Amino acid sequence: LPAELIDGKAIAESVRKEVAADVERLRRECGVTPGLAVILVGNDPASHTYVSSKAKMCIKLGMNSIKETFPADFSEDKLIAYIRELNARQDVHGILVQLPLPAHVNSRHVIMAVDPRKDVDGLHPENIGLLCMGEPRFIPCTPLGICELLRRSNVEVCGREVVVLGRSGLVGRPISILLSSKNKYGDATVTICHSRSQNKADICRRADILIVAIGRKRFVTADMVKPGAVVIDVGTHPPQTDQETFCGDVDFVPVKEVASKITPVPGGVGPMTIAMLMRNTVDAAFNLSKTPRC
Ligand code: GUN
């Protein structure tokens, strides 16, 4: 039997409904409207698309959106000064600096300038530290989205063997920490596999759940997947010719004949990332306005 599709669009929609209900409750009970500031430096077309989607989603869910675009040669000092203004603003609860930044800007300096209580991207060292300690405050949006996809698709994680292909700071590393920790998403046995790993295919074939975030088009082939495994594809590669469509890091057509459940590209992990950003922003607004959650 071909794999069941994990419908990221539908699951993201149910997350958004929960978030919209919390936005309404914050407004009604505390007079607070959550605000998200998104900053883009430069003119990468994909980044422009992502930033616009984030801003539109804020409005759709009843939140405030502040979108600032700076030219590619904008200085690191000016960027940090702008972030400090946002840190001080009462109406801004979440701040996200779209990555990657131009080469002359040090991303670490920029991320560290964001008030960790407003770091809804979960990338500030304080938030990464809390995640590593098993006391997460903000979990990076893509890893959190993957965990919610698994949980809401009734995929058992506890005690099972997860292989994460990729070790990036944005996805591979945080999700491996999250799934191996003692929490509602965790208690898995996690192996991280990366470009320098030997026997990648053998390691991937051990996985009950295979999470692929290696950034290489159709890298995972059917022989790398254990029959019945759950496959999560984090890659997104835009079409390069008129005949092509978007594809992921997984060779979808043959792999879906082997897996039990699989995320499509597009419509799998992608929609969840934005939904979790909205979730984190509302959580930030709750925390900053000291409102006890129901
Ligand atoms: N670029 C691609 N994904 C992300 C993300 O999750 N956060 C930020 N800040 N930039 C990104």
CB 185 within 8 A of CB 232: no
What's the confidence (pLDDT) of residue 70? Answer: 98
Label residue 294 by pLDDT band (50, 70, 90): very low
Distance CA 118, CA 136 (A): 14
> At 293, is the pLDDT very low, low, confident or very high (cuts 50, 70, 90)?
low
Asked whether the beta carbons of 149 and 232 are under 8 A apart, the reply is yes
Q: Please report the pLDDT score of residue 292 as a whole number.
A: 65
**Percent of the chain whose pLDDT exceeds 90:** 97
Task: Give 165's DSSP letter.
Answer: E
Task: Identify the pLDDT of residue 119.
Answer: 98
Distance 99 CA to ligand 1 centre (A): 5
The pLDDT of 16-29, averaged and rounded, is: 97
CB atoms near residue 179 (< 10 Å): 25
Q: Is any ligand 1 atom within 6 A of the Cβ of residue 142? A: yes
Question: Mean pLDDT score of the chain, rounded to an integer?
Answer: 97
Half-sphere exposure of 186 (CA within 13 A, CB side): 16
CA–centroid distance, 273 to ligand 1, in Å, is 9
Task: Show the CA angle centred on residue 84, arms to residues 79 and 86, nearest 5°.
Answer: 95
Percent of the chain residues topping a pLDDT of 70: 99
User: For the chain, how are helix, strand and coil distributed in percent, rounded to 5?
Assistant: 40, 15, 45
Q: Provide mean pLDDT across the span 96-119.
A: 98
Q: pTM value?
A: 0.96
pLDDT at 290: 81
How far is it, in rounded angstroms, from Cα 188 to Cα 63?
35
The closest residue, in CA terms, to atom 2 on ligand 1 is 99
175 lines ligand 1 (CB under 6 A): no
Catalytic residues: 54, 98, 121
Angle at 216 between CA 212 and CA 221, to 5 degrees: 65
pLDDT digits (tens, 9 = 90+) for 42-80: 999 999 999 999 999 999 999 999 999 999 999 999 999
Give every CB contact of residue 93 below 8 A, 6+ residues apart in sequence: 34, 35, 36, 118, 120, 281, 284, 285, 288
Q: Best substitution site from 36, 108, 121 to test ligand 1's pocket, by max atoms within 8 Å of Cβ?
A: 121
Among protein residues, the one whose CA lies closest to atom 9 of ligand 1: 98
Mean pLDDT along residues 133-162: 98
Which amino acid type is present at position 108? R
Give the span between the Cα atoms of 222 and 227, in whole angstroms.
9
Nearest-atom index, ligand 1, CA of 273: 6
pLDDT at 135: 96
pLDDT in tens, 184-230: 999 999 999 999 999 999 999 999 999 999 999 999 999 999 999 99
Query: For residue range 70-100, what is the model confidence (pLDDT) as tens digits?
Result: 999 999 999 999 999 999 999 999 999 999 9
Task: Give residue 68's pLDDT.
Answer: 98
| pLDDT (average), residues 130-137 | 96
Decide: 147 and 178 in contact? Cβ < 8 Å: yes
How many A from CA of 199 to the centre of ligand 1?
A: 30
